[in-house]
Amino acid sequence: MDITSYLNSLEDCREALIHFRRDLHRHPEPGWKEFYTTARLIAALKDHGIPVKYGKEILHRDYLWGYPPQKELDVCMERAVSQGADAGIIKEMDGFTGAMAVIETGNPGPVTALRFDIDCNDVGEDMEPCRLPVKNGFSSENCGCMHACGHDGHASLGLFVCLALNAIRKDLSGVIKIIFQPAEEGVRGAQSIAESGVLDDVDWFLSGHLGMGWKTGELLALTNGFLSTTKIDAVITGLSSHAGASPQDGHNAILAACSATLAMHTACQDSRGAARLNVGTISGGTGRNVVADRAVLQLETRGETTEIERTVFDRAMSSLKGAAEMFGCTVDTKIMGSASGADSDDALEPFIKAGASRIPEITRYVPSGGFTGSEDAAYLMSRVQAHGGKAAYMCIGCDIAAPHHNARFDIDENALMTGLKLYISVLWELLGQKQ
Amino acid sequence: MDITSYLNSLEDCREALIHFRRDLHRHPEPGWKEFYTTARLIAALKDHGIPVKYGKEILHRDYLWGYPPQKELDVCMERAVSQGADAGIIKEMDGFTGAMAVIETGNPGPVTALRFDIDCNDVGEDMEPCRLPVKNGFSSENCGCMHACGHDGHASLGLFVCLALNAIRKDLSGVIKIIFQPAEEGVRGAQSIAESGVLDDVDWFLSGHLGMGWKTGELLALTNGFLSTTKIDAVITGLSSHAGASPQDGHNAILAACSATLAMHTACQDSRGAARLNVGTISGGTGRNVVADRAVLQLETRGETTEIERTVFDRAMSSLKGAAEMFGCTVDTKIMGSASGADSDDALEPFIKAGASRIPEITRYVPSGGFTGSEDAAYLMSRVQAHGGKAAYMCIGCDIAAPHHNARFDIDENALMTGLKLYISVLWELLGQKQ
Amino acid sequence: MDITSYLNSLEDCREALIHFRRDLHRHPEPGWKEFYTTARLIAALKDHGIPVKYGKEILHRDYLWGYPPQKELDVCMERAVSQGADAGIIKEMDGFTGAMAVIETGNPGPVTALRFDIDCNDVGEDMEPCRLPVKNGFSSENCGCMHACGHDGHASLGLFVCLALNAIRKDLSGVIKIIFQPAEEGVRGAQSIAESGVLDDVDWFLSGHLGMGWKTGELLALTNGFLSTTKIDAVITGLSSHAGASPQDGHNAILAACSATLAMHTACQDSRGAARLNVGTISGGTGRNVVADRAVLQLETRGETTEIERTVFDRAMSSLKGAAEMFGCTVDTKIMGSASGADSDDALEPFIKAGASRIPEITRYVPSGGFTGSEDAAYLMSRVQAHGGKAAYMCIGCDIAAPHHNARFDIDENALMTGLKLYISVLWELLGQKQ
Amino acid sequence: MDITSYLNSLEDCREALIHFRRDLHRHPEPGWKEFYTTARLIAALKDHGIPVKYGKEILHRDYLWGYPPQKELDVCMERAVSQGADAGIIKEMDGFTGAMAVIETGNPGPVTALRFDIDCNDVGEDMEPCRLPVKNGFSSENCGCMHACGHDGHASLGLFVCLALNAIRKDLSGVIKIIFQPAEEGVRGAQSIAESGVLDDVDWFLSGHLGMGWKTGELLALTNGFLSTTKIDAVITGLSSHAGASPQDGHNAILAACSATLAMHTACQDSRGAARLNVGTISGGTGRNVVADRAVLQLETRGETTEIERTVFDRAMSSLKGAAEMFGCTVDTKIMGSASGADSDDALEPFIKAGASRIPEITRYVPSGGFTGSEDAAYLMSRVQAHGGKAAYMCIGCDIAAPHHNARFDIDENALMTGLKLYISVLWELLGQKQ
């Protein structure tokens, strides 16, 4: 097979790829609620005869961080159907989003996994007429929801990578698993997939992100330095009383929350590397003249290594427990998300380099570089690496109209085609039957 | 005039009084938004030819604590009209609620003022079918609003006291001003009335409350020990930044709010008497992974005397300013309400006692007692006392179905008739032309 | 017996009384170390054949708050002997100070107890030549110790009251116990005496203080409103580490102490009455560049009633425990002193009034009044009142040269004679065999 | 000149070097008080005809961080003389310690500077008989002072380096300045020397430390990563009042100190690199029952770069000011020491490597490595680097008996000879006239 001609031939997909991406952009769905998105992906895979697993087959139910209440899921499923999703597929999904296509090449060889995330952000899209999504009629139809981090592009890319790999599967080796992961925002979805075991036979793992500071034409091959992180909700419960008439009868949850917040924020000095803690939101109390019986903190801990993050996390827990005790309150904490730290494996860099060299759209190649945040792909990478597999995370350059998570965010759709060719070309390096 | 027969004849009003009260209960309106309520009162007064002032005539515009934005007022005015209020009167009110009837007896004598508060609470009424207001079809029609402190009773009582006094005005002396005060909840409305000057010629001032721990048949003649109080909203503004990628660029408004809250709550040790401070609500931050750039505190200070309250207030202000400075933030504070401390005058007790002795429904008379909270009637009392007038605040016993401000609160309507007779009987003691 | 002549005859003691007081002033001894003072008292009592109990007979060993280490006691015992105390008596005291004279009248009657405190303050006396104690050569010879609260006067007064009562015991009734209490400062000594049981048969209890805001010639008969109080030392233990090289290995005791201190100071809002908490001293850490492994707080809680004080105390304990937990530290707390709240009994006022009326030096008589602080006599009063006895605490007016506890404090010695006559005259009212 | 033979001949100094070091060990002097030490050095230099500058010639008076009061200096000067220092030299020093020898080679060439620190620690030496300094009679004679960081070795090494360079100066080029720096502990002395300008013509700068985790025989050529640091004392002044009787009159300095301490410790999250803050000691208050009017904090800030340290420092200052304002207090801060961050220059490594290769005692050579703390040599390095000079800081391996700053610390004196040969050999590489 002539890989170069095949890559050129992929240009025929350009219109369909962009069309699919715009459809997802119009129907953004937040984590664990990607019913329309998942149903569309499954339908397209099935149309092409590609086997696909979903729901409980690829998720471990003990790790569904931040999973919404059934009532909210019901609303989203109904909306998905009303927007055109296949009602039968949604029924089969049984309340769980995400999917995994499995391409059996029929040739002996390694197990390779790709991962694409599919959820949107809790951001209301800016509807200014001159913005491209508005002008071209594909801006969000779901109030308060928006693809402001490019996962519409990731999901579309993943689908077309699947289709392209399927077309040439006879020329590849081993088995390829393409994962469509729910709930990346808030780093909630990956651990559940990792714990399900579907990655435990994987030799090669590849994932990536559009943009992230890299412009169209640039490629960062190996991304390193993901911060380990945990997302925590803490609910402090005290006892209310009238602030004027019987202040002594109350147990003040706001005071406990304030003490905990201050104490926790002192926990980030660590000579082993970067440590972070942020109480990002606080809310408490019911009225000015009532001793507050409830306060809620949304916080996150991060660390350059899992050990550092663990130290910060433990101190956050102690701070919360101690602060509650100080004021006669109790505290419940709930893990809302979690990502490990991870680095890409050098072993994959030559394959990416060779793959990229075939794509003229890639004009600047950077072998490795850092990441200023957390990504729950790191969980999947760690899981693969734990049994000896190799993993890499690429940043695929993409001009953006506004910063990630901003209401005016938009991607350069040209980067989608570049990404599609890149994945196919790199996988050819890894798995191509080159005679 | 035979006062005893007249008091007996008031029984004829029982049905109308209860009917009026139930109508107000169905249409509860929070502070500064009592358009339906005020319009109904004005219409009734005008129907009986009683002169009435309202709007800017009785309010000083510099002291409209917690006055809502025009947009909210517009919505409430529209609702009032749609619920049956006189559109013409509402137009004349020009956005201001509250009213003052003025009864000129034509006889020489003192100026006497009565005060009734008319606003509801921000509480959604419990709609359980067995509750009396639900069963009898007069539960709240305004979502999230409820007369849960009996001001529907106060307003109705005030109206019928007016009518009854008007009927016998020839047998009384001096001038009687009956004030229907908006926005007592949050102690917002009284100071504006006090500063308008309408009380500055008042010799006798009388107000009161249904319930407050006293059962139907009981009367506390002189209520003492109102706590001076100020209600404050504080907005702390910092600078947001990404909590993982550039924490050092943020100025954390949540940390400032927490430090201020802890510091303020240490300010209540005072050997001169009771001092109180409560940060009743806190809210801040926009997302878990963002250094918060904004936090809002709703707090109140109280003191057994104005001096004590001032000390606590000053310390709260210092705490807020200092805490903002600690974290490179700024703070804006806004006074949302305010009440002075006050005590009733002993000089009025003999009149109340004599008046009460004529009412067989009053089975237990208590000359004086304390109050565990704040009431902005205290501002009016202080204003009257400042120029040598005498003031008293009565607690008129009334069985209640649930605590004040509770969603299941309801009054014993029998207490309304007792209250009506009490006011007329006491005023007869004060002003009756007894030959 | 003619009480008036007897009171007049007491003038013969004036010189001896002043002489004895000045000797005590020269040899001030802090709480639990009053060896010289106690030995002098015991010797004088024995010289007059008055039975006296001391040491373990009148102290319960479980309640020796703030009892010093043996080494310090040894030094004080040696000093006492070197200053002229009877070595034999000191040996018998076996390390415990304080004494109780017991006068048996031989006549049937009630048991009466008087209480005089005997310890000095940890204050270095001002040695300016013009001060009376310096000019007259009776200033403190014990470095850092000074009678700056008049307990030298109390002890002397107690001795001469004993001698005077003993002289007329045949004309009195019942049994009289005169207690010389150690360690009033820091409210440490009284509970140990109360728990020993020596007061459990007492019908009448009388104590008092010189000065306290009352001038020579004034008498406050019934002192009320002693604040209940507990004195606590808290030691927080963490783990040190190098602040630059391994901050994450430390458990910061200073941060725990700071959190606890702030939290505790929020605990004083109580609608039942005055509540107080003060962290009076804080110290922690060993060096600027070391994470502190130890911090010590000296604090006190107070309340208008024992219940209020208990609430504040419990919150202080919770705050300390919770704060330690927040930072991975532990905390040890130790009770260093304690006094209950108490009020004087009205039943004693007529006797005091009648007694006082016989003393021309008393020119202003005040039946009852408040106290702005704590006194451990309150423990003794409560103990007596608990089994139905009656107790009173008088403030005996006395001009003072500087505030209590000040290095320039001094009493007007004329008040000593007034006090002596007052006690005898009041006891005559209570116990005199008036035929 | 045959450098190898010359290095061998230095063995003749061994006994004298050790003897001099032991004499300094017996007479340890803390920062700014090194009168005996400086006088001994000056005397020895003068004996060998080496020009030496000292006192105000090499110190800028505006940067004497933590300079002691005159009274303390007087005591130390007297002690120095009594211990055998030259009274004339001490007089000439005029209260300032430290010195700089200047060796003019007479040949053209660069200006080279060496720096040795000379002060001791505030540690009482462990006097256990089996410790070498005790057994050999050279343990500290100055109570509470001890050379527990090896600066006695540094100073001795510096002196003998001087003598050895002076002996071969004709074979070297340029000018060599050998600085004996006072007050390294607490990073107080270097900035004053830097600001005096004596380094402003320096091309090569070399300094180092014995031990620091490296064993006898090891050499770390280029030390990197000194943390920038500032040492600060903060005094918070409030207003005292009686905690029971008038708590509202106080302004609580302890509460301000606690708030500031918590707030400051939240300031160490920085994505640019390591940031540190430590409140190492806290003390406040005068008595349990008094609202504290004073609290003192000893703290330090550190940063991987000067910019980071500045951010932390600014936040510490804001926290202190804001906390004082919160409680109506004021705060005074005083800089007690300061060091910049610095890295060694690679340009010097080849010279050090070549120089070290000639010393058989050096058995392990490490080109570069990190440092876990702060050193005020960094100020001198930065000053030299600022005008284009090159600087390096070596860690000269040395077995130690206990950790640095421990009361049982002692150096392996063999390392002194290794160090002497190393300096001479490296300088020969830099400055040797090799024909």
User: Residues 314..343 of D with a Cβ closer than 8 Å to C: which?
Assistant: 336
A276 touches chain C (CB under 8 A): no
- How does residue C225 score in pLDDT terms, banded at 50, 70 and 90? confident
Q: What percent of chain A has pLDDT over 90?
A: 86
The pLDDT value recorded for residue C341 is 84
Residues of C in contact with B262 (CB under 8 A): 262-263, 266
Q: What does the pLDDT look like over C406-421, one tens digit per residue?
A: 889 999 999 999 999 9
Q: Tell me if A315 and C321 make a contact (CB, 8 A cut-off).
A: no
- Residue A370: predicted pLDDT: 82
SS3 letters for chain B?
A: CCHHHHHHHHHHHHHHHHHHHHHHHHCCCCCCCCHHHHHHHHHHHHHCCCCEEEHHHCCCHHHCCCCCCHHHHHHHHHHHHHCCCCHHHHHHHCCCCCEEEEEECCCCCCEEEEEEECCCECCCCCCCCCCHHHHCCCCCCCCCCECCCCHHHHHHHHHHHHHHHHHCHHHCCCEEEEEEECCCCCCCCHHHHHHHCCCCCCCEEEEEEECCCCCCCEEEEEEECECEEEEEEEEEECECCECCCCHHHCECHHHHHHHHHHHHCCCCCCCCCCEEEEEEEEEECCCCCECCCEEEEEEEEEECCHHHHHHHHHHHHHHHHHHHHHCCCEEEEEEEEEECCECCCHHHHHHHHHHHHCCCCCCEEEEEEECCCCCCHHHHHHHHHHCCCEEEEEEECCCECCCCCCCCCCECCHHHHHHHHHHHHHHHHHHCCCC
Q: What is the pLDDT of residues D395-409, one digit of tens each?
A: 999 999 988 888 899
| B342-346, C182-186, C267-271, D415-419, range with greatest mean pLDDT | D415-419
Query: In order of start, what are the domains of chain B with their CATH numbers?
Result: 3-226+340-431 (3.40.630.10), 228-339 (3.30.70.360)
- In this complex, the residue of C269, C271, C327 whose CB is nearest that of residue A263 is C327
pLDDT of residue C406: 87
The pLDDT assigned to C403 comes to 85
CB contact under 8 A, A284 and B281: yes
- Residues from chain D that touch C246, judged by Cβ atoms under 8 A, are 372
B326 to D269: CB separation less than 8 angstroms, yes or no: no
Q: Note the pLDDT of residue C226.
A: 87
Structure tokens at A385: 């690496």
Closest chain C residue to B370 measured between Cα atoms? C271
Subunits in contact with chain B (3 or more CB pairs closer than 8 Å): A, C, D
The C-alpha atoms of residue A191 and residue A380 are separated, in whole angstroms, by 7
> Across the interface, do C266 and B266 touch by the CB < 8 Å criterion?
yes
pLDDT of residue B123: 86
By Cβ distance, the residue of B247, B262, B271 closest to D248 is: B271
Residue of chain A whose alpha carbon sits nearest to that of C263: A326
In the complex, which subunits touch A with 3 or more CB pairs below 8 angstroms? B, C, D
Across the interface, of C266, C271, C274, the residue whose CB is closest to B265 is C266
For the question of an ipTM over 0.95, the answer is no
CA quadruple B361, B363, B364, B367: dihedral sign: positive
- Average pLDDT score over chain C: 95
| Closest Cβ–Cβ partner in C262, C274, C275 for B266 | C262
Q: What is the pLDDT of residues B349-371, one digit of tens each?
A: 999 999 999 999 999 999 998 87
Residue B291 contacts by C-beta under 8 Å, 6 or more apart in sequence?
A: A278, A280, B238, B239, B240, B241, B242, B243, B247, B249, B250, B251, B252
pLDDT at C339 > cutoff 70: yes
Q: Given pLDDT bands bounded at 50, 70 and 90, which one contains residue B232? A: very high
Of C248, C308, C326, the CB nearest to A270: C248
Note which residues in 140-159 of chain D have CB less than 8 A from chain A: none
**Cα distance between residue B324 and residue B332, in whole Å:** 10
Residue B334 zone, left/alpha/beta (φ > 0; ψ -120 to 50; rest): beta
Q: pLDDT value at position B338?
A: 86
Helix, coil or strand: residue D370: strand
pLDDT of residue B435: 65
Q: Closest approach of chain D CAs to the CA of C109, in angstroms?
A: 40
Instruction: Please answer whether residues D279 and D265 qualify as being in contact, where contact means their C-beta atoms are separated by less than 8 angstroms.
Output: yes
Selected for mutation to probe chain C from B265, B271, B299, B302 (highest C CB count within 10 Å) is: B265
Question: What is the pLDDT, as a whole number, of residue A435?
Answer: 65
Interval C249-305: pLDDT, tens: 999 999 999 999 999 999 999 988 999 999 999 999 988 888 999 999 999 999 988
Put simply, the answer to whether B372 touches A287 (Cβ < 8 Å) is no
Residues of chain A with pLDDT under 70: 372, 435
Residue A300: φ, ψ to 5°: -145, 150
Average pLDDT estimate for D98-121: 97
Task: Indicate whether C372 pLDDT > 90.
Answer: no
Mean pLDDT computed over B244-270: 95
pLDDT digits (tens, 9 = 90+) for C71-82: 999 999 999 999
Q: What is the pLDDT of residue D405?
A: 87
Q: What is the pTM of this model?
A: 0.82
CB contact under 8 A, D244 and C229: yes
